[in-house]
Structure 1
Amino acid sequence: MDKPYTNQLGRRHMFIRMLWSLVWTVSVRWLPRSMGSGWKRFLLRSFGAKIAPTAVVYSSAKVYFPSNLTMDDYACLATDVDCYNVAPIHVGRFATVSQGAFLCTASHDISSSGHELITQPIEVKERAWVAAGAFVGMGVTIGEGAIVGARAAVFKDVPPWTVVGGNPAKFIKKRVIK
């Protein structure tokens, strides 16, 4: 017998999310892009995020659950990034997640009649760049210095210092810094 989908995250999680969404919308979303970085870091930390003092989160970025977010020194979530962090997301030092990128740590079990929620963390390592409009799926690690090209869809780990692109993302070349 099929059982209907139910949210396994619970009421406490839902309440925190509602409160977070309200606080971010009223206190931040109206600010110009990168203005008020200290204020945004303070609010994210107040909801449990681990944010370095030099990290940048643009006002239009969406963070689903702050306590599942870690951002190291000079990490950046740019304009309109959707950080769907039901599971942890870690953005390393000097890593950038560009405009409109979607980091997605959750899906549903397609082999189950209950369609249960499944989650895995995402890691964007030091000096990596997730370019505009890219999709990064659950359980993926973007290696140190790797680049995910614009509009790419990444479902598997990206090795360090490589460039990938396309849907699904494929190896394009090694990244060499001159």
Structure 2
Amino acid sequence: MSVLDAGKSNPREGGPSFSLKHRIFRAAWGLTWSLLGNWTPVPLYGWRRFLLNCFGAKLSPKARIYPKTTIWYPPNLEMGDHAVIGPGVIVYNMGRITIGDYAIISQRAHLCGGTHDPDDPHFQLLPKPIAIGVKAWIAAEAFVGPGVTVGEGAVLGARAVAAKNLEPWSIYVGNPAKRLRDRKRF
């Protein structure tokens, strides 16, 4: 089940953005994660991967998820080899969020894969996918907005805000994020 397949109850009449089945799934996930995953000791990456994969995530056996993360909807999360989600990261993945091989999402960063339609009188939720490229780095407390692609090897500096795509092998800082310089390729 994906967010797009979950169906909207009555979006034109101001009903919930997601079906009852989808909301029950998310509630079951939230309860499971809070009781069995979120608080676990740092070395238990395998256990957290197992829980996420049981709920539909597509994680490499070499991906690492630290404790104290918030992951909104596991079926919309995909992580490559040696990809890392650090402690306290918020993964609001209404839309698919893909994290490439060796990419790092540092502590308390926020990946926001959804928004609202500002022209809709009911302000319905809209999923917008995020792609984090291979060897990219989202630094501490940075924000990646809906629909953004972070290019291969790109860096989003601490507390920076990416509302637009980031070019490969470039370093960005600030709010809104501005290109600072090239990053050495490796």
Normalising to structure 2: TM-score of the pair? Answer: 0.91
- Once residues 145 and 14 of structure 2 are traced to their aligned partners in structure 1, the CA distance between those partners, rounded to angstroms, is 21
1:94 to 102, 121, 125: 102
Amino acid in structure 1 at the alignment position of 2:125: L
Larger displacement relative to structure 2 (64-73 or 106-115): 106-115
In the superposition, the TM-score normalised over structure 1's length comes to 0.95
Distance 1:40 1:118 in 2: 28
User: Match of 1:19?
Assistant: 28
Distance 1:166 1:30 in 2: 32
AA partner of residue 61 (structure 1): T
Shift of 1:35: 2.1
The match for 2:17 is 8
Q: Distance in 2 between matches of 1:153 and 1:16?
A: 31
- Greater shift, 128-137 or 105-114, is seen at 105-114
For the Cα contact (< 8 Å) 1:101–1:133, is it kept in 2?
yes
Runs of 4+ deviating beyond 4 Å: none
Counterparts of 1:82 and 1:5, CA distance in 2: 27
Over the matched positions of the two proteins, sequence identity in percent amounts to 40
In structure 1, runs of 5+ residues without a counterpart are: none
* Cα pair 1:7 1:117 within 8 Å, conserved: no
Whole-Å Cα distance in 1 between the matches of residues 94 and 142 of structure 2? 19
Residue 69 of structure 1 pairs with residue 77 of structure 2: yes
SS at match of 2:172: strand
What residue in structure 2 maps to residue 80 of structure 1? Answer: 88
- Unmatched segments (≥5 aa) in structure 2: 1-11
Q: CA RMSD in A?
A: 1.3
Amino acid at match of 1:89: I
Partner of 2:4: none
Aligned pairs, number = 175
